[in-house]
Structure 1
Amino acid sequence: MSNTAPRSAIVTGASGGIGKAVAERLAADGMSVLVHYAGNPATAEETAAGIVAGGGTATVLGGDVADEDAMARLFQHATETFGGIDVVVNTAGIMPLAPVAEMDLDTFDRIQRTNVRGTFVVSRLAARTVRPGGAIINFSTSITRLQMPTYGAYAMSKGAVESLTLILAREMRGKDVTVNVVAPGPTATPLFFEGKPQAVIDHIASLNPMERLGTPQDIAEVTAFLAGPGRWVNGQVLYANGGAA
């Protein structure tokens, strides 16, 4: 691929929330984007259509991030469509909440399957395919530092994501590929608002010095930096939380 050809990106979990904002932001930087979804093809198609309407290039494909065959097809589709892969952003994740004493183990297993195994499957494929000059960006959470009750199983899964990602950064020595983690604080997405009364939302928003929730666009800006100009940031967890912790 020539130096003037567009870079390309896979964004998992891009049908809504942070993933959608990341896909749109990378497209605004001129990247061709594969918009991945797990269970909501309509919103993924809307995201891709918006990118195309804005003059960008996008394609859509679904699949379970923890299914190695589905993700192999995803990476193959991106490679065949775009000619190669430069950036992989893995925003896909789930966040059921309960105190440790009350957490259903089937729910616990589902969290770990999506957040831990899914990140491993995507990271393994990314490590094999991302071209020199590229970036692998996984997603954790500032909850690993805030340590709020009911987030135990979720925070546990994201602690594993951080460990995996920082080791992968060292394993990519000599390949000119950066590997980092973005750890958002509370962000105004449907995933965050689900099941929370307004009083709880207001309290959480007040915890950081900026006294507001983050927006998906806030997180997308940080991600775009790591995907593009932030070449000297490698093997790091970047907390994007307004100063909450």
Structure 2
Amino acid sequence: MKAIVCHALTGPDSLRLDDVAEPRPGPGQVRIRVRACGVNFADSLITRGQYQKQPQPPFSPGFEVAGEVLELGAGAQGLAVGDRVIALTPHGGYAEQLVADVNRCVAMPAAMSWEDGAAFPVVFGTSHVALWHRARLRAGETLVVHGAAGGVGLTAVAIGKLLQARVIATANGQAKLQVARENGADHLIDTSVDDVRLRIKELTGGHGADVVYDPVGGDLFRSAATCSPLRCAAWPLRAGSW
């Protein structure tokens, strides 16, 4: 089978399209025909030897895929050959086939495309863990989302609205803010022209944000986290920091 293989920890330039042996599932694993694979910044890091769970060359990057189950390993339960699945794996997604732990696979909705399935786990998973499991965002609270036009930011806007929060989106420029608006943001702050701290105070009547979701960092985070001089009601969440 074909796979894109990292041969040295020198960055994406070390990737080559190779012929490799088909993988075989171990106990509790499934073999998947990859129909689409997400491409993430972590894939660049892993080719440079800078990722927290670092394989040694040769290996294929890619850790979120959508595809069809081809084979079940011993003891793998809950899936059947032919099932459409989304899978997370430490690496190996840049290939025609891979093996994944069955407990890291979920069935895909029939209406979901392969591309949407492969792009779903990392961005939605990050925002779901942050807003639901960590911040316990509740209906009626105010959520500020920085970088709201990016992949992670847009999912935070969508999840915030599903949880019935009031969502304030920040981004650099009106074109990006329009994307956030189309995905449900209630209020928009243009970081290229607006005083972020002042605008949050104005939009919340001086209360400030209940939750600040920050995949950007730096001065922008500090502006939101200190949104009220008398009472900072922010629960700061830095994506990727837990």
TM norm structure 1: 0.28
**Higher share in helix:** 1
Q: Larger Cα Rg: Structure 1 or Structure 2?
A: 2
Which structure exhibits the higher relative contact order, with contacts defined as CA atoms closer than 8 Å and separated by 6 or more residues? 1
**Higher share in strand:** 2
